[in-house]
Amino acid sequence: MLKKEKIKRIACVNFGGIGDEILFAPVIEALHKELPEAQITLILEKRSQSVVELLPNVDNSIGLNIQGISAFQRFVKMRDALTSHPYDLVVASGSHPLIAVLLASTGIRYRVGFETGSVTQKLLTVAAPLAPKAERNEYAALMYYSLADALLKKLNLEYKTPEQVLPHLKSSGLEELLWAKSLIRAEDPRKKILIHPGVSHISVKKNILKGWPAESWVDLIRLLSQAGHQIFLLGGPDDEDIVQEIRRLLPGSLANYQDLFGKTTNLKQLAALIQAGDLLVSVDSSPMHIAVGYGKPMVAMFGPTDEKTLLPQNDPRFQAVVLSGLPCRPCLWKVRNESCDNPVCLTVSVSAMRTAIDTALSQSLV
């Protein structure tokens, strides 16, 4: 039987990119709220470990390199991490049936995961419901939250599922916020629109195409400049190719525009800029999730991925722009694991993006 007083050390296992960790953040927040005395360790991919600086309620983190290794090697790495400390509770987000076998093999007393068959029912202490991949249409943070929800309902009969589940990130420190505000001239009353056009190298390497053409970004920047907004181009090392193409196509001098590419050297600085701005415009990428984590208005162009699972639904602060009328989208992660040979879903119009920006900007006034 589950007993709250027995839970002193918690391990949370969630693999994926920075966005996946932000989507998982409500689980950690709920565990901390209901079990405030417990220490929480997040086990995640090494490539995403910098996001821990933005996540509240994480006491420790363990980053694992799991890309390009066999399933057996991954199993061993995960088991070693979970047995490196005497955890009382483990919460794992993976949907593979072997996850339950892994958790049971560690000897951890309480094990929480998704129900994916008879094996999980037998080996997990708490098995949260999980819809088949093709039928998952809710915000992913809600899907992850079902893990905490199922556990906490067994621990506390008075616990109630919250009406809204959103990730919440740490506010940046005063030094980072002052730096960001000086960079975008916060005293200027004009709207400050941050353009982050890139996607991660690992996505491109895996043939996961989510970007918008440079020509479209240039046309949008020109329109926003003509409207009198302040426009700031952002990006890190992964975004250099698209940024260089935008630079090549933009006129030599453009009113109300500033190129800040390369000014951010870490995730905390990017987070501070997003907090200091009025609106972020991006594609489906980690900056989009950061904006949601701070409740900042944002507009994201979506191609093959599902905006319903990656953005909170029915919240006008967060605008997804898609090419409507395509029966083949969303396809990525539902019916295929890489982009098709003719990704017409990426040809979203500039006018559609502009309309969504106006809608989102109206929310920054609320």
CATH number at residue 37: 3.40.50.2000
Question: In whole angstroms, what is the distance from residue 224 CA to residue 215 CA?
Answer: 14
> Of 104, 122, 155, which residue sits at a domain end?
155
Total domains in the chain come to: 2
Q: Say yes or no: 180 and 117 in one domain.
A: no
User: What value does the mean pLDDT take over residues 70-89?
Assistant: 96
Give residue 202's pLDDT band: very low, low, confident or very high (50, 70, 90). Answer: confident
Residue 166 located in a structural domain: no
Residue type, 58: V
Which of 62-76, 197-211, 318-332 shows the lowest per-residue confidence on average (mean pLDDT)? 197-211
**Residue 89 lies in domain:** 4-155
Per-residue pLDDT tens for 94-117? 998 899 999 999 999 999 999 988
In sequence order, what are the beta bridge partners of 34? none
**Residue 294, pLDDT score:** 97
**270 pLDDT higher than 70:** yes
With b for 16 or more beta-carbon neighbours within 10 A and e for fewer, the 97-106 pattern comes to bbbbebbbeb
Give residue 334's pLDDT band: very low, low, confident or very high (50, 70, 90). Answer: confident
**Residue 142, pLDDT score:** 96
Comparing 133 with 301, the larger pLDDT belongs to 301
Q: Is the CB of residue 92 less than 8 Å from the CB of residue 72?
A: no
Longest dimension (CA), the chain: 68
Question: What is the side-by-side strand order in the sheet with 318-321?
Answer: 257-259, 230-233, 192-196, 279-283, 298-301, 318-321
Q: Is the CB of residue 113 less than 8 Å from the CB of residue 92?
A: yes
CA atoms within 13 A on the CB side of 240: 4
Q: Say yes or no: 109 and 60 in one domain.
A: yes
Question: In whole angstroms, what is the distance from residue 98 CA to residue 293 CA?
Answer: 31
User: What value does the mean pLDDT take over residues 234-254?
Assistant: 92
Residue 19 located in a structural domain: yes
Query: Residue 266: phi, psi to the nearest 5?
Result: -155, 170
User: Three-state DSSP class for 219?
Assistant: helix
Q: Say yes or no: 254 and 333 in one domain.
A: yes
Q: Which pair of structure tokens corresponds to residue 45?
A: 């991919």
Residue 164 located in a structural domain: no
Give residue 366's pLDDT band: very low, low, confident or very high (50, 70, 90). Answer: low
Q: Say yes or no: 244 and 276 in one domain.
A: yes
**170 pLDDT higher than 70:** yes
Q: Say yes or no: 253 and 344 in one domain.
A: yes
- In whole angstroms, what separates CA 94 from the centre of its chain? 16
Give residue 365's pLDDT band: very low, low, confident or very high (50, 70, 90). Answer: low
**Residue 206, pLDDT score:** 83
pTM for the full predicted model = 0.95
**Residue 364, pLDDT score:** 65
Q: Say yes or no: 137 and 183 in one domain.
A: no
